[in-house]
Amino acid sequence: DTEVTQTPKHLVMGMTNKKSLKCEQHMGHRAMYWYKQKAKKPPELMFVYSYEKLSINESVPSRFSPECPNSSLLNLHLHALQPEDSALYLCASSQGRLAGNYNEQFFGPGTRLTVL
Amino acid sequence: GDSVTQMEGPVTLSEEAFLTINCTYTATGYPSLFWYVQYPGEGLQLLLKATKADDKGSNKGFEATYRKETTSFHLEKGSVQVSDSAVYFCALKSWTGGFKTIFGAGTRLFVKA
């Protein structure tokens, strides 16, 4: 299984809502990532989890809260978002640091988020 | 810091034309280099990679050679198809960058039948 799955595929939420994005992989990867991608732009790194611990937070606003319950799952909890947070949210995974910097990332299909 | 520069698009080609998308990089040490492709409405997929100088990555008719002397990793394909229409991202990873993948801005390719 070389797939990263993400749910939901589409999400529309108001600025006062609380919602969560979910990501799952069963490749035994120990690094998992959240990216935000705006139209016609490359992905922007938000968070990296390495061995279920938060390794990198790219100064993301606290209205985005990541969680890694186990080595296969990654969540992104959303609260009090702004319309400018509307974007494609991509999850990715890769082998952990011990495998070196040669390892590519495997991306999920993304969640298209619209904040009204 | 590390960076990747790609040729600006969009690139529009007719089917069976030759494709080149230029990519140059700036990095300390010896980065690994990647090309990712994003089809409409999808996430990114690895197209090919090269991990050391003079390595050639290849996949689905696409090729790119890691040129350390020119700090380049240009993507080529001899005969494009309509199904190759997508956005192509050049990217690098280096030890100094830890887990971070540095992406280029992306080049959109349109192939006409």
User: What does the pLDDT look like over A6-45, one tens digit per residue?
Assistant: 999 999 999 989 999 999 999 999 999 999 999 999 999 9
Residue A97 has pLDDT above 80, yes or no: no
Q: Are A12 and B74 in contact (CB under 8 A)?
A: no
The pLDDT, as a whole number, for residue A1 is 65
The pLDDT, as a whole number, for residue B71 is 96
- DSSP, collapsed to helix, strand or coil, labels residue B33 as strand
Residue B1 has pLDDT above 90, yes or no: no
CB spacing of B49 vs A110 below 8 angstroms: no
The pLDDT, as a whole number, for residue B7 is 87
**Average pLDDT score over residue span A38-63:** 93
Average pLDDT of every residue of chain A: 92
Residue B99: list chain A partners with CB under 8 A. Answer: 31, 33, 48, 50, 55-56, 94, 97
Q: Does B9 touch chain A (CB under 8 A)?
A: no
Q: Are A31 and A94 in contact (CB under 8 A)?
A: yes
Residue A98 has pLDDT above 60, yes or no: no
**Alpha-carbon distances of B3 from A93, B70, B91, B102, rounded to whole Å:** 22, 14, 9, 6
Q: What amino acid occupies position B35?
A: W
Q: What is the largest CA-CA distance in chain A?
A: 42
Residue B34: list chain A partners with CB under 8 A. Answer: 104
**Alpha-carbon distances of B113 from B3, B12, B63, rounded to whole Å:** 35, 11, 22
The tens digit of pLDDT for each residue in B22-81 reads 999 999 878 999 999 999 989 999 999 999 999 999 999 999 999 999 999 999 999 999
Residues 6 or more apart whose Cβ sits within 8 Å of residue B59: B47, B48
Q: Does A109 touch chain B (CB under 8 A)?
A: yes
What is the rounded radius of gyration, in angstroms, for the C-alpha atoms of chain A? Answer: 14
User: What distance in Å separates the CA atoms of residue B39 and residue A14, rounded to the nearest whole number?
Assistant: 29
The DSSP-derived string for B69-89 is: TTTB--EEESS--GGG-EEEE
CB spacing of A90 vs B44 below 8 angstroms: yes
CB spacing of A110 vs B43 below 8 angstroms: yes
Nearest to A102 by CA among B103, B99, B65: B99
The pLDDT, as a whole number, for residue B8 is 83
Residue A99 has pLDDT above 60, yes or no: no
Residues 6 or more apart whose Cβ sits within 8 Å of residue A59: none
